[in-house]
Chains A and B, each alone.
Chain A
């Protein structure tokens, strides 16, 4: 379940320099990409096992897997190439894709560094607790396992 969603903008500058100076005479391959993307974090409920749910009377305890990044995707309609240079001898047409991969990686790292996983768990807890209380449980405990291995 995705419980938190960031919309981020990222400026990536990716430059490829050839090792040969002769090739470098004809310029470098370089791209400046302004990418807007969405990072979604939440809890993967498919890995919830039977033994992770303990219900008895009006008491319930859930042991959930830790929150994780469930999706990072760029929004092509809101992303654009700001600048691009191509080497005449060895143009790298794939630099665009490398820049996009870099952008995605950067958005993922930035989100984790800024606490998206902790926020995802908080929101998840609030929502599931409300659901469980609605189902009649009065004593609700939600735990996340393996937090020490986060990142």
Chain B
């Protein structure tokens, strides 16, 4: 004990450069700050479920008044006849890996989202000249419709949601919502459209369009009605 004290005194008595002493104390300080931050961070993460139980619960968190500002970007007169809609769901899974050195620390975050949406198909009659596509003679009429197409994909935001988030990525990863908004949604729209076409949306649209117009023209008093859809043959 006395020897240790003596050694300590000897050490402290020996002269050292001031800058080196300062550097060491800064390092110590940094280590202490880092350790404190780590402990606090781990404490918050680990204690969050516990805190959520202990904290006074509000029945429902209040949603502050929403501010909206709307501006018109474009207005179009169109003639789009929607004849078939498919309601589908797409499962989107994302893994975020930092694009810097943090990736070597094993940081990663995953999220899974379910995106529901309606894919609507029909006929765009906006630039469809009647004189080239409709022939009428007495009680006979023939109508030629353009090929059916997907007119829009409408994501159901009320039902769509991020189902799960996993992993741990304190630095280097974008927030899940950013990827959700910028990558998952556009991708989901494409996937929903692709799935709908695969399940025969366009064929069904062609069929229902032909049936609809046949019925419409018959109700106008025409007895000989023929409706054809460009690119589709139905007997």
Contacts and interface: CB of A to CB of B under 8 A. Distances in A.
A89 B153 contact: no
Contacts of A94: 161-162
A63 interface: no
Nearest to A134: B130
A2 B125 CA distance: 10
A18 B75 contact: no
B56 A134 contact: no
Nearest to B185: A76
A3 B79 contact: yes
A138 interface: no
A71 to B, nearest CB: 5
Contact of A89 (B48, B74, B151, B165): B48
A77 B118 CA distance: 17
B9 interface: no
Contact of B76 (A5, A9, A18, A90): A5
B72 interface: yes
Interface residues of B, number: 65
Contact of B75 (A2, A5, A90, A137): A5
B200 interface: no
Contacts of A3: 77-80
A71 B73 contact: no
Given A104-B157, A110-B70, A86 B175 contact: yes
Contact of B177 (A9, A88, A93): A93
A94 B177 CA distance: 9
B12 interface: no
A55 B186 contact: no
A1 B157 contact: no
Nearest to A49: B219
Contact of A81 (B162, B178, B221): B178
A4 B202 CA distance: 23
Interface string A113-142: 010000000010001001110111100000
Contact of B63 (A45, A81, A98): A98
Interface residues of A, number: 73
Interface string B110-138: 00000000101000010000110010100
B189 interface: yes
Interface string B142-186: 000000000111110110111001000000000111101110011
B89 interface: no
Given A2-B151, A7-B73, A93 B79 contact: no
B181 A90 contact: no
A89 B162 CA distance: 18
Nearest to A50: B219
B189 A6 contact: no
Interface of A: 1-20, 22-23, 29, 31, 36, 38, 40, 42, 45, 50, 53, 55, 60, 70-74, 76-77, 79-81, 84, 86, 88-90, 92-98, 100-104, 106-107, 110, 114, 123, 127, 130-132, 134-137
Interface of B: 44, 48, 51-52, 55-59, 61-64, 66-82, 118, 120, 125, 130-131, 134, 136, 141, 151-155, 157-158, 160-162, 165, 175-178, 180-182, 185-186, 189, 212, 217, 219-222
List of 3 A-B pairs having minimum Cβ-Cβ separation, nearest first: A19-B58, A76-B185, A7-B74
